[in-house]
Amino acid sequence: MSHDHTHEHYTPNAQSFEEKLIRLLEHWIRHNEDHVKTYREWADQARNHHLHEAASRIEESAVMAEAVTKKLEQTLSAAKRLNE
């Protein structure tokens, strides 16, 4: 028995642009959260070595990275709403 091949076959890589964007945003958020954790660890280490200015600037970087994460989370929420 044969059938017409005018329909699309599903493949795991057949994601829409929106689905790819959502996956990428999720990855960036996790990745950025890892950076924030590392920045804070190094800020603590710098402080422990009396490198207070460096510690302060690294901590500022962590705060900035958290702001980026927040913006990415807002973007992810918007992308998910539009993809429903």
Whether 58 contacts 44, CB under 8 Å? no
* pLDDT of amino acid 81: 93
What distance in Å separates the CA atoms of residue 58 and residue 22, rounded to the nearest whole number? 29
Whole-model pTM: value is 0.77
Residue ranges of alpha helices (H) inside 1-84 are 17-48, 52-83
Per-residue pLDDT of the chain (84 residues; tens, 9 = 90+): 555 555 454 555 688 999 999 999 999 999 999 999 999 999 999 999 999 999 999 999 999 999 999 999 999 999 999 888
Domain ranges of the chain: 17-83
